[in-house]
Chains A and B, each alone.
Chain A
């Protein structure tokens, strides 16, 4: 009987071990399988609607009071729409990244149509960019050439069918369906209303206190091309290490030059950034060139021949600055010297402060 009992015990043990092992294997298989599923059916894709969603209904209550903007002789063509970073692409598709990378918070849109002619309509785009610098950046990098500057706006211009301007942290576009004079009058009326209650978009400028972007005052004014200032927030001139950089154009005779400057956290950071940009140019085929210009030599500015164009780069106080892709070295050095003088004054003022 002992041997029978012993065999039974061994058999029971074996069955138990087998069952436990089977359970373990099943559990392990379930564990592994749960990581291997089709996202488009069971994950994000399944949760997503088959149709792309359009506009945001969930934040409709945040729409601004567009009723008060309706210009005379016009009416609202459609409901106001609101977009946030997650769905901005539904309105402007591939251009959404430009805004989102520049601090975009929200977009409000509204269409208006003539009461007498339904082919005359325009759309208001009100981009909340969180800060005037961000609004200026998206305004400036999209700025059209050969436009009429709007005297009423701090930064603004008109084309034959549209108005574009910056009001404090907002970038505003009013885009007409045609080049009609009636449309322009109506769009101008909306622009004026945007500057007053209840919007108060340009409260500071109306009160005499203009929202300033300090760097713009540091560019020399002689020979500057009016309205040419731009603010690039990242990857400036193809260099990853260069961000938050202003550029302005200058016309010297037939030649157009580009000056740039960027304020860094401190003088050491400015010197490092200047050195890195110089190395970037050399690493990509640039060749160091000597300079005989005393002002440039004094501050240790560097000149690089970059495939037949001249690049000048230097650091003064917290600023990295220079001249980009000039055709003529002498003109570039002259402009660089003017920029150095302005920045030297600014750095002295900063120290005295």
Chain B
């Protein structure tokens, strides 16, 4: 110990030192409080608040949940299917803004069946306008270059000719969302803009084999809503498809099995990958639609784990027969 330390302190000195220490602590506290950022850093400047897709579903009607129509003419089969489910007026009210989400994933010819057939998109646009829609939007967030996809699939021109507004993805149309209870969709960017002001949502998907998930149908079609590096979800493809089925509550889904891609999906490439099944399914229950749809690929619903996951999560039923499907022939 040094002499300095052994020196006795007087009461006045002690009070003076204690006061200085107190002032220092108080000053540090005040400065810290002033600088404290309760919200923390904002890493993504435009991320904004989390959004939730609107619920686009319509009230259920007994025995009018799923309709399966045979026929080779897509215009005729889709018209018949919608008519038997109660008509487009059941789904679209006068003045509605209707968003249509086809599968425009690839810049490939409609001949190859990798994307929704443009004729089908055009017919649904027409039916929506006929039912009184104020505006019909056709949109998707493709895997390939969006402009090329909408041009080469023929969907851009078909939708435009039918009077629809085609919306291509732009960064400002994406917002973050979280699926309550979801494992994968947590604060993840989704293609939100075109759907934010829509009143109704109709999904139209081609029926095809998928190398990773087994089959790509109406539930997998919602994959197009995901932004960011969505390929990471391929590692858990069954969970992401099931979560998408929970996240999106469409008005109606249409599954086109007129020509089915039975091998080498999801891209295909050869006409020999295709098989005519001449069947179109329309349903308000996407799990039921896909559960019937997979039979056209020679699969059972139990062969596709995402169907059971979606059913267990409450997105619909794999037991499509319990819904008393309406079977019909068109044309």
Main secondary structure, interface of A, reads mixed
In this complex, the interface size class of chain B, counting residues with CB under 8 Å from chain A, is 35 or more
Q: B174: which A residues are within 8 A, CB to CB?
A: 50-51
Cα–Cα, bound, A35→B269 (Å)? 46
Contact B266 A50 (CB under 8 A): no
Q: A residues bordering B, Cβ < 8 Å?
A: 1-2, 4-5, 8, 15, 19, 38, 40-42, 44-46, 48-52, 54-55, 78, 89-98, 111, 121, 123, 142, 144-147, 159-162, 164, 173, 175-179
Which 8 pairs show the lowest CB-CB distances between chains A and B?
A: A177-B109, A94-B212, A50-B174, A89-B231, A159-B270, A144-B272, A40-B187, A159-B272
Contact B272 A142 (CB under 8 A): no
Contact of A40 among B8, B186, B264 (CB under 8 A): B186
Contact A98 B211 (CB under 8 A): yes
Q: B residues bordering A, Cβ < 8 Å?
A: 8-9, 11, 14, 21, 25, 41, 43-44, 47, 105-109, 111-112, 141, 143-145, 148, 152, 169-171, 174, 176, 186-189, 210-213, 216, 227-231, 234, 237, 263-267, 269-273
Cα–Cα, bound, A272→B129 (Å)? 68
Q: B169: which A residues are within 8 A, CB to CB?
A: 51
Contact B271 A97 (CB under 8 A): no
Contact B228 A48 (CB under 8 A): yes
**Looking across the interface, which residue of chain A has its beta carbon closest to that of B14?**
A8
Q: A111: which B residues are within 8 A, CB to CB?
A: 107
Q: B105: which A residues are within 8 A, CB to CB?
A: 93
Contact B270 A175 (CB under 8 A): yes
Contact B230 A52 (CB under 8 A): yes
Contact A161 B111 (CB under 8 A): yes
Q: B230: which A residues are within 8 A, CB to CB?
A: 52
Contact B187 A145 (CB under 8 A): no
**Looking across the interface, which residue of chain A has its beta carbon closest to that of B149?**
A54
Cα–Cα, bound, A160→B265 (Å)? 18
Contact B152 A175 (CB under 8 A): no
Q: Which of B189, B210, B265 has the most CB of A within 10 A?
A: B189
Cα–Cα, bound, A319→B194 (Å)? 59
Q: A91: which B residues are within 8 A, CB to CB?
A: 143-144
Q: How far is the CB of B115 from chain A (nearest CB, A)?
A: 12
Cα–Cα, bound, A170→B200 (Å)? 47
Contact A52 B141 (CB under 8 A): yes
Contact of B171 among A49, A54, A95, A147 (CB under 8 A): A49
Say yes or no: A161-B271 contact (C-beta < 8 A), given A93-B266, A178-B109: yes
Q: A42-B43, A52-B231 are in contact. List 19 more A-B contacts (CB 8 A).
A: A4-B14, A5-B8, A51-B227, A52-B230, A54-B145, A89-B143, A89-B234, A94-B213, A97-B212, A111-B107, A123-B108, A144-B263, A146-B272, A147-B272, A160-B270, A162-B271, A175-B270, A177-B109, A179-B271
